[in-house]
Amino acid sequence: MSTPTVDIPYLNISDPSFAMQSEELRNARAASWYARTNYGFAVLRYDEVSKLLKSPKLKQGSAQWPAHNGVHGGLFYDWWTKNLLVLEGEDHHRIRRLLNPAFSPRLIKDLVPRFQALANELIDAFIDKGECEFIRDFAEPYATRVLTILLGIPESEWPKIARLASTVGLALGVTFKRDLDKVEAAVAELYEYADELIKDRQANPGEDFVSRLVLASRDGDRLSDEELRNALVLLIFGGMDTTRNQLGLAMQSFIRNPEQWGLLAERPELGAKAVEEVMRTNPTVTWVTREAVEDFTYQDLFIEKGTTVHLFTQSSGTDPLAFPNPEMDLLGEHAPHYGFGGGVHHCLGHFVARADMSEALPLLASRIADPHLTGGDEWLPDSGNTGPTRLPIGFTRRS
């Protein structure tokens, strides 16, 4: 182990006021490719994040979360410790192979007209008012109803699904232990939904997404009913708040960059590029957590087995060493961002999220001009998954 020759920056990442897009972080990144934190290391630059994200010496770092919170059994525990995100090696790959075909980009293309109709329906409901609460009136119903469309659940069920998913989400918070009863009840209810869906599609298989999961098989292997329901709950849980938050952040990015909004309105074919640029410069998943599976040395840093390593997404996506012009630019050519993670745990739902957001953003831009904050916005902290929980905006109707 070598002694660092430069002062290694320190970041307090669990301080609620810790800011990703800050002078403090830019200075740290200019000084060093990594920082020490109150919770392992943070990797700040693009090249290093890119390499470590795919390193076989690191595994996904959230498996022990329930245990760290003193939770060692129960429905949530069983679900969490068997879900794709925390499985590793062949156990992970086997489930991923069986889930993959349902997520094929070719099949997701067929859903695009429904995404467009949904976006227009939501915009119709507020466009004459000249203002809206963007999360309540667009981002949340859009993100949730896309999931119900994908899963073939009646769209009218969306408020209930949203409520159950955010209750399970309490398991990620500091009050996990206190909320355990509520979390357990919500997992039980989501399981009932999932079991009903599975039974229905096993009896009446069609061409839809859940039927494809139910029928998925490879080399004579298939998903058990328990694996299916675990996966369905993971999709609801991993796909909803992420998309809602990312859409809220997209609106923030365009409010800060009005000329880019105008460009998108004129050129809707830039929708896919808009999603990439928003996620590179303003990602909801602010870091991806990894844990060292063995002792190893990377560049000048000795990383001991069991150490937590946070791979920073916004910081790497705007690293001047990789992006000489890091500002959001829909016409620029940029290296890929890591807002969907990377390596074996690369987001399974990214084709869905990319397809739905790249329809929503140009439709919004083509119908509302000059979006601006009107006050009263509320935000999640910057650690982990961020975004606005309330975003009142004003605008003018585009003629």
Q: Which does 285 bind (CB under 5 to 8 A by kind): ligand HEM, another protein, none?
A: ligand HEM
Rounded to 10 degrees, what is the CA torsion of 206, 105, 224, 226?
A: -100
Count of residues near another protein by CB under 8 A? 22
- Residue selected from 50, 246, 253, 257 as contacting another protein according to rule CB under 8 A: 50
62 near ligand HEM, judged by CB under 6 A: yes
**What is d(CA 90, CA 64) in angstroms, rounded to the nearest whole number?**
19
Q: Which is nearer to another protein, 184 or 276 (CB)?
A: 276
Residue pair 180/256 in contact (Cβ under 8 Å)? The answer is: no
Q: Tell me the window of 117-125, 189-197, 280-288, 321-329 that interacts with ligand HEM (CB under 6 A).
A: 280-288
Q: For the chain, what's the residue count?
A: 399
Residue pair 357/243 in contact (Cβ under 8 Å)? The answer is: yes
**What is d(CA 47, CA 40) in angstroms, rounded to the nearest whole number?**
19
- Residue selected from 385, 386, 391, 392 as contacting ligand HEM according to rule CB under 6 A: 385
342 near another protein, judged by CB under 8 A: yes
Q: Interface mask (CB under 8 A) for another protein, residues 96-135, using x and -?
A: xx--xx-xxxx-----------------------------
**What is d(CA 328, CA 145) in angstroms, rounded to the nearest whole number?**
28
272 near ligand HEM, judged by CB under 6 A: no
- Residue selected from 22, 51, 302, 304 as contacting another protein according to rule CB under 8 A: 51
**What is d(CA 193, CA 216) in angstroms, rounded to the nearest whole number?**
20
Residue pair 354/272 in contact (Cβ under 8 Å)? The answer is: yes
Q: Give the rounded distance of the alpha carbon of 271 from its chain centre.
A: 18
Q: Which is nearer to ligand HEM, 12 or 396 (CB)?
A: 12
Query: How many CB atoms are closer than 10 A to CB 263?
Result: 18
Q: Which does 212 bind (CB under 5 to 8 A by kind): ligand HEM, another protein, none?
A: none
Q: Tell me the window of 29-37, 82-90, 127-135, 192-200 that interacts with ligand HEM (CB under 6 A).
A: 82-90
Q: Tell me the window of 32-40, 50-58, 187-195, 228-236 that interacts with another protein (CB under 8 A).
A: 50-58
361 near ligand HEM, judged by CB under 6 A: no
- Residue selected from 93, 160, 163, 177 as contacting another protein according to rule CB under 8 A: 93
List, in sequence order, the alpha helices (H) in the chain. Answer: 23-31, 46-53, 65-68, 75-81, 89-99, 105-109, 112-126, 134, 140-151, 158-169, 180-203, 209-215, 225-256, 258-266, 271-281, 313-317, 350-367
Residue 218 carries which DSSP code? Answer: E
Q: Tell me the window of 207-215, 248-256, 335-343, 366-374 that interacts with ligand HEM (CB under 6 A).
A: 335-343
54 near another protein, judged by CB under 8 A: yes
Residue 314 one-letter amino acid: Q
Angle at 41 between CA 37 and CA 44, to 5 degrees: 100
Subset of 184-243 contacting ligand HEM (CB under 6 A): 234-235, 237-239, 242-243
Residue ranges binding another protein (CB under 8 A): 50-51, 54-56, 93, 96-97, 100-101, 103-106, 336, 340, 342-344, 346-347, 350
Residues in touch with ligand HEM (CB under 6 A)? 60, 62, 65, 80, 83-85, 96, 171-172, 234-235, 237-239, 242-243, 246, 284-285, 287-289, 339-341, 345, 347-349, 352-353, 384-385
